[in-house]
Amino acid sequence: MSKPVTLYTGQWADLSIEEICEKAQRFGYDGLELCCWGNHMEIDKADQDYCNGRKALLAKYNLKLVAISTHLVGQCVCDLIDERHKGILPDYIWGDGEPEGVRQRAAAEVIKTGKVAKMLGLDTVIGFTGSSIWHMLYAFPPVNQEMLNKGYDDFAKRWIPILDEYQKLGVKFALEVHPSEIAFDIATARRALKAVNNHPAFGFNFDPSHLGYQGVDYVKFIYEFSDRIFHVHMKDAYWSAQPGEVGVFGGHTDFGDNRRFWNFRSMGRGSVNFENIIRALNDIKYSGPLSVEWEDRGMNREVGAVESCRFVKEIDFQPSDVAFDDAMQK
């Protein structure tokens, strides 16, 4: 049976939950991954009745709820908090903006998000972790491993208590490996796992669009962390084969600027080899959702969402259950 093709609602949070349900059904999706902002999944309101209502609403449109995502709040658990974070947080988490208070309230909200997932009958929460050392990415002024180790120690100190609560709930946290997070490539993903002692509740949301333009082997990532891929985002990105005026760091330009070395693209219009990804996911026996995270500044999002759904359903072939040369044997 093919994997469910779902739509991640983070880029659609300006619409009401019912509007995006109606559109997702019309676009051809099998279900939704609901973001925890806008009114799609409001963690501060989410008691059992609220959760039952959300499931009933999706069922009305013949949609399955596959996961919830806490990227914005999760980002603030480990980050160096500044004015950027005020714009992505609910007022009750931002509070007076004192950084450690923000981090503590964000951590409590991530734990509550795991409890909401349990009430919804889900076993996966997707999100970001933030990082206290992302600003040390480029090693000048000089950065040594002791400084970086402190960042992973901080990640472990803040996230192991959250992961312990998730384990009690039977829920897993899937970090979207992504620049600005504690894990943004294969090496840092290994380091993050080691920092939390390979905690059984911690794994990854695989999204090739964040790896390819960095020069990271996104297919190798699947095999390297085959038992830790809890969820998959289908998102494409284009990166240039030729040098230009804006490099991999983005040159302080906006997404969609065609001078950039890379940009996110609608599914099938970028540089990611999705056939190799599907083959690898089949090899590791991943059977979870393929969640389209649609981002393309150069295209109408409804047109893009429709073509992306069609693309993923066409590319997701089932693995064979027999060897092709079996029929040649006696």
Per-domain boundaries in the chain: 5-328
Type and span of the H or E element at 195: helix 186-195
| pLDDT at 1 (0 to 100) | 60
Task: Say which residue the tokens 């384990």 belong to.
Answer: 167
| pLDDT at 325 (0 to 100) | 62
- The tokens describing 275, both together, are 């056939």
**290-292 vs 229-234, strand pairing mode:** parallel
Q: Average the pLDDT over 261-279 and give the result.
A: 97
Class of domain 5-328: alpha beta
Q: Average the pLDDT over 131-145 and give the result.
A: 96
Q: Average the pLDDT over 67-73 and give the result.
A: 98
Cα(208)–Cα(216) distance, integer angstroms: 9
The answer to whether the beta carbons of residues 33 and 9 sit under 8 Å apart is yes
| pLDDT at 330 (0 to 100) | 65
| pLDDT at 323 (0 to 100) | 66
Cα(72)–Cα(88) distance, integer angstroms: 6
Q: Average the pLDDT over 43-53 and give the result.
A: 98
- Buried b / exposed e across 6-26, counting CB within 10 Å, b at 16+? bbbbbbbbebebeebbebbbe
| pLDDT at 59 (0 to 100) | 98
Please state, for a pLDDT cut of 90, what percent of the chain lies above it. Answer: 94
**pLDDT (tens digit per residue) in 78-122:** 999 999 999 999 999 999 999 999 999 999 999 999 999 999 999
Whole-angstrom Cα Rg for the chain: 20
pLDDT of residue 2 exceeding 90: no
Q: Average the pLDDT over 163-183 and give the result.
A: 98
Could you give the angle at which helices 99-119 and 145-169 cross, rounded to 10 degrees?
Answer: 30
Cα(185)–Cα(124) distance, integer angstroms: 21
Task: Say which residue the tokens 């009750």 belong to.
Answer: 92
| pLDDT at 123 (0 to 100) | 98
- The tokens describing 55, both together, are 């499931």
| pLDDT at 199 (0 to 100) | 98
Mean of per-residue pLDDT scores for the chain: 96
- The tokens describing 148, both together, are 């970086």
| pLDDT at 324 (0 to 100) | 61
| pLDDT at 317 (0 to 100) | 84
